[in-house]
Amino acid sequence: MGRCYRELRLGWRPRPIGQSNTETQVIKFYYSTAPNPMKVALCLEEMGLAYEPIPVDTRKGAQHKPEYLAVNPNAKVPSIVDGDVTMFDSNAIVLYLAEKTGKFLPAKPAQRGPMLSWLMFVASGIGPFTGQYVHFKNYAPEKIAYAMNRYEFEALRHWGIVDAHLAKNKYMVGDAYTVVDMALWGWARLVPNILGEHAAKFASVKRLADEISARPAAQKAIAIKDRHAFKTEMDEEAKRSMFPGNYAQAAG
């Protein structure tokens, strides 16, 4: 009773999840310069968290090495190790970091539902459909009209939903910059390159992406690419490393 009274009188509050009484742990951040790792880099910088960037050169197959599979059995980036917490999937990571620090979450309890909905929309819609559009447009050995039409349509449809929402709202969740905007930024900043002439349709997406890219944290996140000389050639080694299922099927 006495301890509880003292804590309340001194203004004590429960610590956000993941924090302890000990000195803050340096987060190990396994990354490449792809959209999903970049959203986590932005999140780490915005939240002022101490982290160690560990490059995973996916075009050289580093994601398939046993030591990395022990961190992420899905052989993708990003991943983090925060003390005894190991996580993969970029949207799960940004939500974890926001809850760990108590930063960049909606101020109103009623906004938590929309935050989760839009965060999952980025995870299950924006990322996969945009990524598949890029794959079939740029990397598929055969130009399959059905696949290209489907993924172009779905990529444009998803970005259209986001753009319509941002036309009525400053940010993805009300008037406050949150982790949802960070998650979206990973892909949104590349819309001109990905969607080409279609990018002009999404002025509100551009407005948000440009605003975030101008932030000091985003500049630091973008600069992370200079810490490691990632392979840039999409040669046979890179294709086998990044699209192993296609090669395994061909070999079979």
At 141-173, the pLDDT tens digits run 889 999 999 999 999 999 999 999 999 999 999
What does pLDDT average to over the chain? 90
At 20-52, the pLDDT tens digits run 433 568 999 999 999 999 999 999 999 999 999
At 117-135, the pLDDT tens digits run 999 999 999 999 999 999 9
CB-count exposure of residue 3 (10 Å: 0-12, 13-18, 19+):
exposed
Between helix 203-213 and helix 145-168 the angle, nearest 10°, is: 70
pLDDT for the residue numbered 247: 64
CA-atom Rg of the chain in angstroms: 20
- Does the pLDDT value for residue 8 go beyond 60? no
CB neighbour list of residue 113: distance below 8 Å, 6 or more residues apart:
none
Question: Beta strand pairing status for 27-31 and 51-55?
Answer: parallel
Kindly report whether the global pTM for this prediction surpasses the value 0.85.
yes
79-118 as b/e, with b when 16 or more CB fall inside 10 Å?
bbbbeeeebbbbbebbbbbbebbebbbbeeeeeeebbeeb
Helix (H) or strand (E) holding 205: helix 203-213
Please tell me the number of Cα atoms within 13 Å of 197 on its side-chain side: 0
For residue 72, the tally of other CB atoms under 10 A from its CB is 19
